[in-house]
Amino acid sequence: MNLGAYVVDRRPLRIPAFRRLWTASAVTAVGGSFSIVAVPTQLFTLTGSSAVVGVSAAVSMCALVVSALWSGALADATDRGRLLLFGNAGLGVAYLGLWLNTALRLDSVPVLLGLVAVQGVSFGVTMTATGAAVPRLMPAELLVAANSLSALTRYTGAVVGPLLAGVLIPAVGLGPLYLIDALALGAVLWAVALLPPMPPRPDAGRAVRAGPGAGLRYLARSRVLVAVLAVDLAAMVFAMPTALLPELAERQYGGPPGGGAGLGVLFAAYPAGVLAAGLLSGTFSRARRHGALMASAAMAWGGCVVLLGAATDLRLAVVALVAGGAVNFVLSTFRNAISQAYADDRLRGRVQGVLTVVLIGGPQLANVLHGLAGAAVGARWTIGIGGALTVLTVAFLSRAVPQLWRYDAWRSAPGGIRDQ
């Protein structure tokens, strides 16, 4: 048995430009993620108000959404490498500003919120430009493997970064964490500066004037891309139970008020499953039936959430979340690969901008809906119904849009990457 065929698929790393970009992202996944913990901690320390922390999250999200949509148009009208450089430079400016605000003991809440907005705008540019640039760096058959590698580093950072921040804040304070974030971005700026030119197509001159609307109109005409976004939204909005995990930990599994070990295990189970799937990404990265695999993973995720809602024991709940994280890794990997390969390159930036909005807005909407429904009918019923709705919705979409289920990575993309 060739075990190498099942572990992380490293073929994209043979492409120098992607290898540099991925290596830099691995650095920033941990060393560039401290502000995620530091900003809300500083705001709460300064104001004593969780409402202000909530306002900062709203500011960041609004800035990111607007930025993602408009930077998508820019990605179709300018060199994508330069746009990516601009976005990462903006993040560096935001982190340096956060450091100076702390180091000079200004501790200004309005300045903090302004820098959070700059961070949101820059992050929207970076996410959108990256999604549009990667398909220019490699052939279509490696997109799944490339997205798997990127997701693996991202989720590793999501686990390790906050843990390190929690250890470092009492030891060194908040200021050095912002400075580490800024310094880590130096690796990304180096990698992006060495990317090959990625100029717009000759007929893309009207992209900025057309704005995000052109991308939305293009999406509306593409049954496959609409189905991809609909499947992803169903999986996130109906079946992302993050908001109800504290209630489950305390009232269902006997945890202490205010959190405890059980709550920590519940929150850690999902990313643990994601990481496990990432380490075995070779199992599916060479597959061609991307649509069927994405839809199947979405329905499997819904089934895991149904199991979570039915679980009366913490151990079974953890198993459901670990399995759910694993299948969601598969779902997100094929979602990215399909949206990158299927979209016309002249409009790929705007498609990625819309996808960024969905990725950011979906979980936020899920938190609102799950919170309201949980208060009305209870956490377990809400979670179980959400999982079942996901399974039914994705099954309906698979039948209503058979092109998605039949999607073949090497044949289905119209004028795909092979023809560029």
Q: Predicted confidence band at 381 (pLDDT cuts at 50, 70, 90)?
A: very high
Q: CA–CA separation, 20 vs 155, rounded Å?
A: 19
Q: What is the pLDDT of residues 137-171, one digit of tens each?
A: 988 888 888 988 988 888 888 778 877 887 888 88
Please report the pLDDT score of residue 321 as a whole number: 95
What value does the mean pLDDT take over residues 178-189?
Answer: 91
Q: Which structure tokens are listed for 108?
A: 């200004």
Q: Residues 33-39: what's their mean pLDDT?
A: 84
Q: What is the mean pLDDT of the chain?
A: 86
Residue pLDDT, tens place only, 46-58? 888 878 887 888 8
Same domain, 364 and 287: yes
98 close to 39: Cβ distance less than 8 angstroms: yes
Domain limit, last residue, from 182, 203, 224: 203
Percent of the chain with pLDDT over 70: 92
**Residue of 374, 377, 330, 389 lying closest to 241 (CA atoms):** 374
Structural domain ending residue among the three candidates 181, 203, 225: 203
Structural domain of residue 334, as residue ranges? 211-420
3 inside domain = no
- The answer on 97 and 193 residing in a single domain is yes
Report pLDDT digits (tens) over 84-99.
Answer: 999 999 999 999 999 9
HEC-encoded secondary structure of 204-247: CCCHHHHCHHHHHHHHHHCHHHHHHHHHHHHHHHHHCCHHHHHH
How far is the C-alpha of 98 from the C-alpha of 177, rounded, in Å? 10
Q: Does residue 329 share a domain with residue 258? A: yes
Residues 133 and 281 in one domain: no
CA atoms within 13 A on the CB side of 347: 23
Mean pLDDT across 308-335: 94
Q: How many domains does the chain have?
A: 2
**Does residue 411 lie within any of the structural domains?**
yes
**Tell me, what's the pLDDT at 298?**
97
Amino acid at 97: G
Question: Is residue 2 in a domain?
Answer: no
Q: What is the pLDDT of residue 417?
A: 38
CATH number of the domain bearing residue 103:
1.20.1250.20
- Picking from 383, 267, 282, 385, the residue whose alpha carbon sits closest to that of residue 325 is 267
- 218 and 329 share one domain: yes
The position carrying tokens 């059980």 is 262
* Together in a domain, 173 and 31: yes
For the chain, the residue count is 420
CA gap 367, 372 in Å, rounded: 9
pLDDT at 418: 35
Q: For residue 143, what are its two tokens?
A: 């997109």
Q: Distance (Å, rounded) from C-alpha 73 to C-alpha 69? A: 7
Tell me: the pLDDT tens digits for 101-142? Answer: 999 988 899 999 999 999 999 989 998 999 889 988 988 888
Last residue of a domain, one of 203, 220, 246: 203
